[in-house]
Amino acid sequence: MSEPIFKYGEDHLKASLALDITKGTVKGVLSAAGRQQVRNGARLVEAIVASGTVVYGINTGFGPLCTTLINKEDTRSLQENILKSHAVGVGGPISKALSRLMLVLKVHALAKGFSGIREETIDRIIWHIEADVIPVVPEQGSVGASGDLAPLAHLFLPLIGFGYVHYKDTIQPAAEVLRELKVSPLQLGAKEGLALINGTQFIAAHAVMGVARFYKILMQADLNAVLMLEGLSASSKPFYPELHALRPFKGNRFVASVIYNLLNGSAIVASHANCSRVQDPYSLRCVPQVHGASRTAWLHLKELVETEINSVTDNPLLIDESLTISGGNFHGQPLAMALDYACLAAAEIGNIADRRVYLSLEGDTPGVPKLLLKSVGLNSGFMMLQYTTAALVSENKSLCFPASADSIPTSLGQEDHVSMGSISGRKLLQVLGNIERIQSIELICAAQALDFHAPLKPTRIIEKVHERMRTKVPHIETDQVMTGYIEEALDLVRSGALIDAAKEVAAKEAIPYVTDLATLFDSF
């Protein structure tokens, strides 16, 4: 069976496909049509240099030096100097996966042929991806306008023999790795340095990664909620379709239908159908409204991300022989604002989960003991787990301040409004990491609460999820060190193993898990 192929600059790139190329499960190639596009763009640059026509970044300085003319002989040095001078990032390196994803996204944008890049330069970037020689990119230094200048400068320093790369599980000087592999540094042509460092690929890579992780978190959030609803003997009525038809937000309806299907037929639900409790606390009753709103935010981010990663975001852009435009496609605002919105939406998933953890410890559910242990006093039970979720939720709240609300002028005032989108993207991934840990703790508490309802059983899907959880985290009778169990549960959350288990049972036994709204929200 042939390897799946993606044609840079020609095919439409989805967020999930970008990750597949990054992981190596899909091969990205520069097709014949893509190569022709690139050659056409490169010829436009050659013609501008030969004619002496003044075009920003080709024969002028950069930023506030845009009126400084550069002679023909120095245009190549100009492009190399811009990589060196702009590589001023600080902080720890972003993950190797993010750096690789940045390369993938940049190749796709450059291959559209509007940037003036040469074939050999794109071929070298693809070589870095395929040879697993991945540039080291510091996490801080971009203000998200004029593109992600500093991160992209670091990303492409290895093309000219500078900077550092991830190679053979270590970080090494790029020059040494290139010598070892007998690969000569490139000499950049006119416009190429500027084309490489202009663009939003740092922001976009964080956004793509965020879309993937947020998606999994949303699916896990619904499963966690059902486990907790069962464990705390909550009512199933707040999830009836008749209710949500009266306020038909798509996200709310989707979540309500998922939870309704996961509760429908539960022996535990049936056992308290006629209890005296009139209403459950909001963190149980309002799951569709809260999770649903976050799902809507996720969909909004996904749609914007997929527009961005199929766009050309450097500057200037070469439209044809008679039209070169120095514009603002590099400005990160479209993603910066959406990432801040997603950050808030994601944080709320952790916020409501913490409230459910707290409820599980109160001892107000018949048969479920206070602090989730039968014998407390000598034992503190699960009390401290909620301290951790509270700490993570509080940290997320501090991370929800919108980075895009700020703008600090740079480039001596030439770049007088910037997006700070790189910070928005980094914050989103931090928040998502905290939520994954909150969800792992909620899983531990929900599974413990559910145990106390035996021999009554939940629906088959939830029973399977609970069984899978119990292969990693046992029912707990006395106080013990919980760190290892949190890590085990965290692995289940990050891997999506419980989501896969739920889908497997649903498919095998023809049990409704999601409605036709899945085509809207489960299309990642």
Catalytic residue positions?
Answer: 56
Strand intervals (E) in 131-193: 134-135, 138-140, 164-167, 170-173
Query: Closest Cα to residue 24, out of 159, 164, 132, 169?
Result: 132
Do the beta carbons of residue 30 and residue 111 sit within 8 Å? yes
3-state SS class at 337? helix
Query: Is it true that the peptide bond before 455 is cis, omega within 30 degrees of 0?
Result: yes
C-alpha to C-alpha distance for 80 and 156, rounded to whole angstroms: 10
Packed helices 287-308 and 201-231: angle between N→C axes, nearest 10 degrees: 160
Helix, strand, or coil (residue 246): coil
**One-character DSSP codes across 343-410:** HHHHHHHHHHHHHHHHHHHS--STT--GGG-SS-SS--TTHHHHHHHHHHHHHHHHHTS-GGG----B
Bridge-partner residues for 7, per DSSP?
29
Q: Which of 488, 393, 449 is nearest to 226 (CA)?
A: 449
User: Packing angle between helix 96-110 and helix 15-23, nearest 10 degrees?
Assistant: 120
Kind of pairing between the strands at 5-7 and 27-29? parallel
Length of the chain: 524
Q: Which of 290, 300, 402, 295 is nearest to 348 (CA)?
A: 290
Other Cβ atoms less than 10 A from the Cβ of 516: the count is: 8
Calpha distance 194→164 (Å, rounded) = 20
Query: In angstroms, how far is CA 242 from the centroid of its own chain?
Result: 34
